[in-house]
Chains A and B, each alone.
Chain A
Amino acid sequence: MTGIDRDASGWPEAGLDAIGRLRVIEAAVPAAAASETVIDAPFDRVWAYVTDMERSIAEFDSLVGRVRIRQREPAPGGAEDLVLQAWAPGSPVALVFDVRLEPGLCLMRARGRLFLVGMAAVAEGDRTRFRHAEGVPLPGGRLLRPVVRRTSRADSRRIARLVEGQT
């Protein structure tokens, strides 16, 4: 028997970066649609903007008027688990999201309705590859895919414009 040592350090291991993880997650969510773009700004600036959620979401998502982070707890691996409330413009009723946040990846799942919003970013030199996904894992949710795709593209474009416009 050759007896290859399972602890041998030379064995190559594959991995998924944040964008790869978001792509994989989309595969499990019916009606998920995504858009991907390269933002002309460094990763740190992009991610600082995205994760300033009480400000940024209400700026780039036209369906959201106000956001409040209700709870924030550290999670293993440098991640954070958040509970976030989002109000549509003029609405007194908030949607509550459970959020997992880690460097380069943000997953937001609406309670009950299981609506997904995902954002992922990976540095590409001085620029940043950015992916935005939304999905509705409900029966018939696939019918909404064209709408979801449009809103995802619009959100990506606004995020790119807002970040690139920062000085």
Chain B
Amino acid sequence: MPDDGWDDLVVRARRGDALAVDALVRELSPYVGRICGAVALDHGDDAMQETFIAVLRALPGLREPAALRGWVRRIAVRESVRVARRVERTPPLDPQDPAGPALRAAGPAPDLAAVVDVRDTLARLSPEHRAILVLRDLEGWTESEVSDALSIAPGTAKSRLSRARAAFARRWAS
């Protein structure tokens, strides 16, 4: 659906029209499912449900229906990282992403078009690294969109992406 086609659905969903809410959920599900699945992995379904509950409860506050998709993806990322952190009990990355253990890319980037077990490699990354890889390399978001969705500075997003790619390549090769 084009971004300017949400108005009617959003207006009806705000009024509590269950059929409009369901249509909205069906329309957004593939998009939200890719983010939640890749970031929260085995708990992606939980993250997806929590994403939609958060989206629908906050829907009355959405000023521009045309901005729905970007708004939903921010919530999907936030909820996916939160669910993944909760179940994996990993500490959050420092928002400033200070230099941690140096991650070194192991040789040339793998040919990921042939990937069959990407999931196993993703499972060995932190939720934050999974999130930035998915947004930038799977969904093709710009650096600015990624930093906005993750609520981090553009420079932090850039360095985090670099570390995430290196970590992915290293684990992929191991």
Which residues does A use to contact B, with CB under 8 Å?
Answer: 1-17, 20-21, 23-25, 27-30, 98, 100, 107, 109, 114, 116, 118, 135, 137
Contacts and interface: CB of A to CB of B under 8 A. Distances in A.
B112 A3 contact: yes
A2 B48 contact: no
B117 interface: yes
A49 B36 CA distance: 34
Contact of A3 (B29, B34, B116, B137): B137
B149 interface: no
A2 B168 CA distance: 9
A16 B17 contact: no
B37 A30 contact: no
Contact of B19 (A7, A17, A98): A98
Q: Is the interface of B mostly helix, strand, loop or mixed?
A: helix
Contacts, number: 136
A88 B113 CA distance: 59
In order of increasing CB-CB distance, the 4 nearest A-B pairs are: A137-B16, A14-B44, A10-B118, A4-B137
Q: Is the interface of A mostly helix, strand, loop or mixed?
A: loop
Contact of B22 (A2, A9, A13, A25): A25
A11 B45 CA distance: 14
Given A10-B118, A13-B44, A116 B49 contact: no
B154 interface: no
5 contacts: A5-B113, A12-B41, A15-B37, A24-B52, A27-B52
Interface string B39-58: 01100110111001100110
A24 B118 CA distance: 29
B19 A100 contact: yes
